[in-house]
Chain A
Amino acid sequence: MMIEINQLVKRYGDLVALNHFDLQVKEGEILGLLGPNGSGKTTAIHCMLSLLRFDKGTIHLFGQEMTPDNYAIKAKIGVVPQEVAVFDELTVYENINYFCGLYVADKQKRQTLIAEVVALVGLETFLTFYPNQLSGGLKRRLNIACGIAHKPDLIFLDEPTVAVDPQSRNKILESIKVLNRQGATIVYTTHYMEEVEILCDRIVIMDQGQVIAQGTKEALKDMVRTTDRLTIAVPFLPEAMLQQIKSQVSAEDIRYTGGELIVTSTHLQDDLLPILTLLQEAALSYGKISTKEATLNDVFLEITGKALRD
C-alpha cells in the first residue's frame, strides 16, 4: 500500500474535522478524493503530510509511519497546494529550479528534470516570465511544475484546476495522466466531478470528516438508485396519449413540456421501444431522441443529500 490511514481523528476544538477516517491507496493508482467544502479533504491531506497534528489514528506512507522528520518519505512526495505556491520575485524557470533544487542537488540532472516538466505542463515559451505576467491557467501549470519537477513517487494534487481556462485544464489533466503512466501514485482532490470521471481509477467520497462511499465510478453508480433521462422531441402530444404512455411504461417520471417528452428511469433501454411504438400507432410525429446518463454528481447528491459545490 502506498497510503494506509486507520481511524484518523482530527479535532478543531468542538469541531471534528476527521472522524475515524480510513483510507488505502495502492501503488500506481489515481485516487479521487471528493467532498463538499469543509468535508475534511484538505485536513486529511495535511495530516498525511505531517503538517497537522492529529488526535488519534495512524498514517503510513510507503509502508512507514509518517512523521515530521521522516525525510526519506518526504523526498518521494510532491505536493501541489490549493493556492498557487510560487515566488512572484522569481521567473518561471527560477521557481521550478528553486523547488526542484530542494530535492535534487545535481545541477545537470536538475536541468533534465526541469526540461521534462516544462514540456509536460507546456510552459516552454514562458520560462523568463514572472508569475504576475502569467494568466491564471498558466500560473496553475507553474504551480504543478514546481510540485512535481523532482519526479516524486507520490503526488498530492489539491484542487489544481480551480479557476483555470479549458485549455489549461485539459493540459493539466493530460499531464496528470502522463505522470501516472510514468509510475506516480496520485491523490487528487477536486470539486469537478467530470475531472474525477476522466482521471481517477477509484473514488472516495467524504462528508463531515468520514468516508461515506468509495469504489470505481461504475461501482459507485451501482451503489445508488441513479436514474438516466430520455428526451424525445414530440411537436404535438395529446393529454390522452400522455396518460396512455404513463400507464404502459413503468418509468419513475414522465412529463411533456416545451414540445419534449421527458422520461426519467433506471431502465431506459426497456422503456424506449414501447414509447416509440405508441407514438407510431397514434401517427404522432417525433424528432430528435437523446439520453443522459446519471453522473457522479447525481451519486453524490443521492449519498450526501447535497450538491458537491455546496
Chain B
Amino acid sequence: MFWHVYIYRLKVLIRNKSLLFWTLAFPIILGLMFVAAFGQLDQGGSLETIPAAVVLDDQDPEAGDRLIEVLTAIETDEIALFDLAVVAADEAQAQLEADEIAGYYVLKHEQVTLHVGQAGIRQTMMKGVMDQYVQQMALYQNLLASGDSEAIDAMQTLDGPVFQARNSEAEMSIISFYFFTLIGMSILYGTMWGLRNAQDQQANQSSKGIRLSLLPKPKSSLTLANLLASFTVLFSEMLLILAVYHFIYQVDFGSRWHWLLVVVALATLTTLLLGLLLGNAFPNMPLPQKEGIATAVTMAMSFLAGMMGSEQIKYWIDTTIPILGKINLVNLISESLYQLYYYQELASFYVNLLWLGALLLLFAGLNWLVERRVQYDAV
C-alpha cells in the first residue's frame, strides 16, 4: 500500500499547477530579478580589503597581540582582508561615523565585540571572522584547561588556516549571498505541500480525509508515503532551482555541493513537517487562509534573514537575540549555505545543521503526537 499511495500522491502533487508555480516557477522568476538587480555587484571581481579598526581595552597585552595577529593574517586571494588600525575607542567611533571604516572590534576582558554603523556584506564578513575567532579561542581555552598537550600543539600549528577569511577554493561572489536567502525562502514555500498533505489526510479537514482515515492499515503508513512523495517533489524542485541558478544565472555556490545538498534535503523535510504541523494545528481554518499564513510567515522569515534589504535587522538579531536566527528556518538555511561557501572551518556550519536536525525532530514529534491513533472532537 505504501508505494501505491506514494505513486498516486506524486501524481496529485505534480498536477497541482498553482503549487508548482509558487514553489518552482516563482523562485526561478525571482532569481532572474535578483540577477538583473544585483548582477553588476560581481563585476568588480574580488572583494576589496575592508577598512577596520581594533580597540584594545584589555589588561592582558597577549590577548590583544593574538587578536591583531589573527586579523592581519587573514587573506582573500592573497590580499589582506582587513586594512587594520589599532586606535582608541573615541577615534574608532569617530572613524565609523565618518564612514572611514566598516566597523571596529573591541577587546575587553578577553571578550571580543564588533561595532558597526550599518549592515552589509563587509560587516557580515567581519562578524563571521569574529565568530570563528571566539569559537576557536574558547576551544583553545578548554584544551589548555584539560592539559591535552598534543591537541594544544596541533591547534597552534593550525593558527593560519583556521582563521582564513573564506574557503579558498571558491571564487568570491557577492550575488551568491543574496541567493542563499532566496534558496531559504524557496524551500520555505514548501510548507504549502505540507499543508496540502494535512488537508487531504485528516478527517476533520476534508471528506477525502474521512475516507483515508478508514484505511485498513495504520494511518502512519499513509502519512509517511504522502510525506515522502511531497519530499520527492520539493527536493526535485530545489535541485532544478539550484541548477537554474548555477548553470543559467551563473550563481557561485562554492565547491561543497555534497554538504549543500545535505542542507537542502534536511531543510526540505523540516519545512514539509512544519507545513503538516500548521495544517494539523488549525484544522478548522480554510486551506487558502492557511496558505496565506504560511506565505506571510515565509516572507517574515526571509525579511528577518536579511532578504529585501534588511541586512541590518539580520545583523541586529545575530548580535542581540541569536536564538531567533536559529529558529528562523530561512536564516538557518541561508547562513548554512553562506558558511559552506565562505568558511574554511565548518564548526559553526555543523552547529546549524544540528539546529536543523533538532527542528526536524521537534516538528516530526509534534506531528506524531497529533496523528497518533487519531480520533477527532469534531469532524
Contacts and interface: CB of A to CB of B under 8 A. Distances in A.
Contacts of A79: 210-211, 214
A22 B252 CA distance: 70
Interface string B12-54: 1101100000000000000000000000000000000000000
A87 B200 CA distance: 9
B207 A85 contact: yes
Interface centre among B215, B374, B379 (most CB of A within 10 A): B379
A83 B375 contact: no
A52 B216 contact: no
Contacts of B379: 46, 51-52
Interface in A77-108: 77, 79, 81-87, 89-90, 94, 98-99, 101-103, 105
A69 interface: yes
Nearest to A95: B8
B69 to A, nearest CB: 63
Contacts of B215: 71, 74, 102
A276 B16 CA distance: 71
A27 to B, nearest CB: 20
A41 B173 CA distance: 66
Main SS class of interface, B: loop
Contacts of A275: none
Interface string A194-224: 0000000000000000000000000000000
B211 A12 contact: no
A305 to B, nearest CB: 28
A53 interface: yes
A51 B208 contact: no
A232 interface: no
B5 to A, nearest CB: 7
A77 B1 contact: no
Interface residues of B, number: 30
Given A68-B373, A69-B218, A84-B207, A51 B1 contact: no
B213 A51 contact: yes
Contacts, number: 88
Nearest to B215: A102
Contact of B376 (A53, A75, A82): A53
A147 interface: yes
A51 B210 contact: yes
A74 B217 CA distance: 9
Main SS class of interface, A: loop
Interface string B337-379: 0000000000000000000000000000000000001111111
B351 to A, nearest CB: 41
B66 interface: no
A39 interface: no
B11 interface: yes
A304 interface: no
Given A52-B378, A74-B215, A102-B1, A90 B207 contact: no
A11 B123 CA distance: 60
Contact of A146 (B5, B211, B376, B378): B211
Contacts of B206: 83, 85
A68 to B, nearest CB: 5
Given A98-B8, A102-B1, A51 B376 contact: yes
A13 to B, nearest CB: 10
A49 B217 CA distance: 14
A50 B218 CA distance: 14
A53 B377 contact: yes
Contacts of B16: 89
A103 B215 CA distance: 7
Given A12-B378, A94-B8, A102-B212, 9 more contacts: A51-B375, A69-B373, A71-B217, A79-B210, A79-B214, A87-B200, A89-B12, A90-B11, A98-B4
21 contacts: A12-B378, A49-B210, A51-B213, A51-B379, A52-B376, A68-B373, A68-B375, A71-B216, A74-B215, A81-B211, A85-B206, A85-B207, A86-B208, A87-B200, A89-B12, A90-B8, A90-B15, A98-B4, A101-B1, A102-B216, A146-B211
